[in-house]
Structure 1
């Protein structure tokens, strides 16, 4: 085997050549086989953290519009993909949301870190429809009926790989299965919040709702379900 074709030797790095704290290895293989963009050549992938999710540093070559190749380094945070849903009632013109503490928001300038959000969660290997049904039951205590797929979006494509699948569904009192509140063993403490749609929509402008996925879903509802109060 020639030197040029020899495989890169495994490094004794958690998540690469040896298991990380979650027993995973080979995490540095992700992205090496991408061929969809002829202007990108992946040169190396390194795992740079041994945490719950995966932080990678990728070295690549990129060909610009003038045909010149240049070397770049990009860090990506891989936390898996997720799903979110807006539950609503047309008869009462209300939406069902959550309220919970978010430390990343708190440490980055939010007054108390408590955000009003649409129910959401990671897929954890499930299909998006199954994942959002699970999260709706856990967080809101509602058995979601026929969630309507809307679209999927990259929420922070400059550094985070996550793609979020967006859904909406109407619910009724008979769909309630419990109090919700999240999974206590996972440290979740989630409050159900039912708001009139006009109040929820106004909360975007006055700063009470500052979560991106929730703003997107409320904007969708204004265009497709309720219209916005003027």
Structure 2
């Protein structure tokens, strides 16, 4: 297997950053050079970068009942891309203050689904769109008791209108397979749980 490139401190040169917009999110324009596979440095490149807080996503899983808790909400970025912009997703939130990812997972589970999580198991960390955004996602599985879960949740002052669903894991996996669930974090977490179900059940039994 061919070795992948291992970057060092001299392999990226940030020439300058410009702020194009600054609000809850920021848009920057970067001018930079980077090391080429063939050797030497690239010419100066200009790219816009969407600067976001890092995100935390958690899939609540009731191991005793083999059920997952998912949420449904309207997403502006889905308008015109899919037939229905009310998406089935994971509980999620941004790290926008001095919190650890695990703290955000627990807080958002209460706010968005009315759930208190037990154990948290890291699934993976990933960059969802590194060609134009610096967002970094922390993805977890969280143990929960799904009995009585449901209803409408979310913070009104943040414009949240969130409906909670409790589904057998196999039903959620079927919705991934037929395309009814179409966002990356939810697909990754559900497929990971499908592959690791017995290990998780053994650890959390």
Give the Å deviation of 1:151: 2.0
Partner of 1:65: 37
Partner of 1:169: 142
Q: Is residue 171 of structure 2 the alignment partner of residue 188 of structure 1?
A: no
Q: Write out aligned runs for 1:195-214 (5 A).
A: 195-214=167-186
Partner of 2:4: none
Q: TM-score, normalised by structure 1?
A: 0.77
Q: How many residues align?
A: 191
Shift in CA distance, 99/114, structure 1 to aligned 2, threshold 3 Å? same
Deviations 1:47-67 (A, max 9, x none): 011332011111012231222
* Alignment check: 8 A CA contact 1:119 1:135 kept: yes
Of structures 1 and 2, the larger Rg is shown by 1
Q: Structure 1 CA distance, aligned partners of 2:96 and 2:11?
A: 32
Partner of 2:54: 81
Which consecutive segments of 4 or more residues in structure 1 shift more than 6 A? none
Q: TM-score, normalised by structure 2?
A: 0.86
Unaligned runs of 5+ in 1: 1-34
* Alignment check: 8 A CA contact 2:152 2:161 kept: no
Q: Structure 2 CA distance, aligned partners of 1:203 and 1:165?
A: 23
Q: Is residue 130 of structure 2 the alignment partner of residue 157 of structure 1?
A: yes
Partner of 1:6: none
Q: Structure 2 CA distance, aligned partners of 1:100 and 1:39?
A: 42
Cα RMSD for the two superposed structures: 2.1
* Alignment check: 8 A CA contact 2:13 2:34 kept: yes
Deviates more, 1:79-88 or 1:61-70: 61-70
Q: Structure 1 CA distance, aligned partners of 2:172 and 2:148?
A: 22
Q: Structure 1 CA distance, aligned partners of 2:147 and 2:85?
A: 33
Partner of 1:222: 194
Structure showing greater relative contact order (alpha-carbon pairs closer than 8 Å, 6 or more residues apart): 2
Q: Is residue 118 of structure 2 the alignment partner of residue 145 of structure 1?
A: yes
* Alignment check: 8 A CA contact 1:144 1:171 kept: yes
* Alignment check: 8 A CA contact 1:136 1:144 kept: yes
Unaligned runs of 5+ in 2: 1-6, 200-205
**Higher percent of residues as strand:** 2
Give the Å deviation of 1:117: 0.5
* Alignment check: 8 A CA contact 1:143 1:175 kept: no
Give the Å deviation of 1:179: 5.0
Q: Is residue 98 of structure 2 the alignment partner of residue 98 of structure 1?
A: no
Deviations 1:9-34 (A, max 9, x none): xxxxxxxxxxxxxxxxxxxxxxxxxx
Give the Å deviation of 1:91: 2.4
